[in-house]
Structure 1
Amino acid sequence: MTSITAERSARAEDLKHRVAAFVNEHVIPAEPAFERHLAESGNRWSIPPVMEELKAKARREGLWNLFLPDHGGGAGLTNLEYAPLCEIMGRSPIAPEVFNCNAPDTGNMEVLVRYGTDAQKKAWLEPLLAGTIRSCFAMTEPEVASSDATNIACSIRGDGDSYVIHGRKWWTSGAMDPRCKIAIVMGKTDPDAPRHLQQSMVLVPLDTPGVRVVRPLTVFGYDDAPHGHAEVAFENVRVPKSNILLGEGRGFEIAQGRLGPGRIHHCMRAIGLAERALEAMCKRVQERVAFGRPLAEQGALRHEIARSRIEIDEARLLTLNAAHTMDVHGNKAAKKEIAMIKIAAPAMALRVIDRAVQAHGAAGISQDFPLAYAWACARTLRLVDGPDEVHLEAIAKQELQEQQAKRAGAR
C-alpha cells in the first residue's frame, strides 16, 4: 500500500494541502451561517449566500472541478490522486459543493463529458462546470425494487422526432434545489430487448411541461435542504430525440460507468466524516470529567478510540487500493475492489460515529453537535448506489469464480 500512496504527483499533494486549508479556514467556520440561513430565511429551499461566496473564492484559488480526470476542464487528477481531496471535502456536508465536486453533479458531468454530443455539452455541461446551475439523476422508482436497475418501469417512447417519457421517480437528489435545471432520466425504450439493453438515458430540462416535483423526501427526518431528495413525476413529458445520451439501449452501460468513480467519492467522503467524528470524540473525552477523572482516562473509551483509528485507516487503504486498481486496470477490472469499499467504508463510518455519539452522551444526539446528521448520512450510504446485499453478492460471485479458476490452474 505504501507504493500506492507514493504514486501521487507533487501537484496532487499541493492541491491536498490547499483544499485542507480551505476547508478548515473557510468552509467549516461557515457551517453555522449556512444552517442559520435555512432556519431563519423562511424558505429552506433557498440558497444561503455564504455558499455562493465560498464557491467564488474556491474558483479564484483554482480549487474547482477537481474531480474530472484528464478532460472536460477538470484538474487532470487520477482517481488515486483525487481520493484524498474527496476525503477532506467529506469532513463538511457543505464542502463538496464549494469546490463544484458535489453529487450528483459530478456523475452527471462525467456522463456528459464521456457520452454527450457537442450540443448537449454546450447546453448543460458548460454551465455545470461553471457552477451556475445544478442537476439531478432520476433512476430510482418507488414502485419497483430499484436495486435491480433492470426493473425500471419508466417508459421512454419514441414518437416521431421526440421521446415521450412517462413514469415516477424518487430519491432524485438535487431536484429540490432552485438552481437545478436538468435531469438525466433513465427509463425503458424497448421492453422486449435483451435485459440489459432495454434502458436508455435522456436529458430532460426540469421546466419541460409534464415534469412535476411531487414532494421532498426526508432522510431520518433531515431534509438536506436546499439540495434535497425529491419524488418527481414525468407525465407524458416530450423532449427531442437529440436529448438521448449515447443511443437507445445504452442506459445500463452508462449507469455502470457513472457509478464506479461515484462510489470511490462516496467512500472517501465517508472516511472524512469518520475522521471528523473521531476528532470530536477525542476532544470531548479529554474535556469531560466523570467519576473524578477525565473520560479519556477510562479504559473502555480509550479502546474505542483505538478501534476507530484502526478501522478508519483500514477503510482508507482499501479505498485507495480500489482507486489505484481503477487507474491502472480500468473501472471494470476494479469492480470487486469497488464493491468491497462500498461495503467497508459506510459500515466503518457508522461504527466510528456511533462511538463518538456515545462519548458525547445525550449531547451527541442533539442539534448542538453534527454527529446525529453524520450518522444519518453514513447510514444512507449503505443504500446509495446499490444496497450492501447487491455488493456482497457481486463480491462472493467473483471470489468463487477466482477460486475455481485457481484450483483449475493448479491441476
Structure 2
Amino acid sequence: MWGIFIYFEDRIPISIFFTSILLFSVTFPSGAKIRLGFWKMARDVIFQWVLLAGMVLIFARITGYITLYTPEIVYAWLIGTPIAQILALTALKELSPLFISLQGPTKNAVIIGLNEQGLAVANNLLADEYSRVNVLGFFEDRAPDRVPQEHGYEVLGALTDIPAYCKHHQIHTIYIALPMSSHPRILKLLDDLKDTTASIYFVPDIFVTDLIQGRVSDVNGIPVVSVCETPFTGVDGLIKRTADILFSLFVLILISPILIIVALGVKLTSPGPIIFKQRRYGLDGQEILVYKFRSMTVTEDGVTVTQATKNDQRITPLGAFLRKSSLDELPQFINVLQGRMSVVGPRPHAVAHNEEYRKLIKGYMVRHKVKPGITGWAQVNGFRGETDTLEKMEQRVHYDLEYLRNWSPRLDMLIVAKTAWLTIVGQDGAY
C-alpha cells in the first residue's frame, strides 16, 4: 500500500498510513506456509486476500472512503498485494534452510515408547526438511519380541535409565509415546525428568500434570502436547531478545558514569578485583560466567559457596551499600548484551547451590528453560537475597515457574517497574 501511493502520488496520506497499520495489525502474524507446495500456498494467499480485501472494499464503498482514490490505485493495490505476498513467501521458502541453520546446532531428542505412535513421530521428524531435531533413539521397557522390528532406531535403555541418560547427554527434547493406560508410569516418569532441562512432549495427549507453557503443536501433522517448554519461541523469542538488547544498551549508556565511580570505589577501598566473576547455570543448564562488582573480601566459586547472611563479616563496607542498593548487579547488563542473561528471568544461582537444590526441590531445573535474569518475579515478590531455609528456596522456585507459565511482555515491564521502585524504597533480604 505504501509503495503504490509513493509510486502514484509521491506521498503516503495520513489516512492510508493508519489504514495500513490497522490491516497489518489484523493480519499479523501470518503463517509462513513453507511446508506447502507453491500452488497450495498461492491458493491460500489469494483466498485469504479476497476475504480481507472484500471486507475493506465493502466498508470503503458504504462510507464513501473509496472515492478519495483513483481506480488505478485501488486496482494496483488489489492485484499487487497478493503477488507481493506470494513472492515473499516463495523467497522465505528458499531462504528458510539458511534461517534454520542460524538458529544453532541440531537439537537431540529421545522418544519414550517404541510403538506405532513413537515410530510415526521419529519418522516424521526424519522426513521433515525443516526440522533441527536429531532422534538418538528410543527407551522401552518391553521385551524385544513385543516391540516393532526392523525400525532402524537404537534402543537406548529402559524407562528407569532415562534421567541418567539425559543428565549425561545433551538432550533437548523428550517425546513420551506411552499408552494412556500408563498414567502411573507417566507421572512417575515426569517426576524423574524434573531434574533435566529437556523440553517434554506427550504424544498424543494427557490432561493431568503441572504444565509449563502447555500448548498443542504438531510434528509434521502429528499432534503433540507441550508439557514443559520455554515461552520464548518464534516471535516471542525475537521480542524478548530485542527488548533485552535495546534496554541493556540504554541502561549501560545511562549509568556509565555510575559504573566508573563504583569501579573506582571498589578498587580503592579493598584489595582484589573490581569485577567478581562466578560460574552460574544459564539457559538449558549450561554454565555461564556472571559479572558483579566485588562486594566481599572473598571470591568464592568452588564446590562450596556460602550465601551472604546478615552482618556477614566477608562483606566490605562499600559492598554492603552496593548489595543493599543492587548496584553490585549493574555489570550484568553486559551479560545481557552478550546473550548469557536476560533483563528479567529467574535469578542465577551459584553452581554449587544448583547442584544442592536440584536434589531437594522437584522442578528446580525447569527454571533453566529460560535465560537467567538481573531481576525476576521471585525477587519482586519478596524472595531476594539469602534463602536460609529450604522453604524459602521452594517459594523462590515457585515464583520462577509461575513466571515461565505466565510470561508476557507486559509482565516483564511490570517486574522492571517493581524492581525500580523497590530499589528506591529499599527491600529486605539483600545482605
TM-score for both structures, normalised by structure 2 = 0.22
Give the structure, 1 or 2, with the largest relative contact order (CA under 8 Å, sep 6 or more): 1
Pick the structure with greater CA Rg.
2
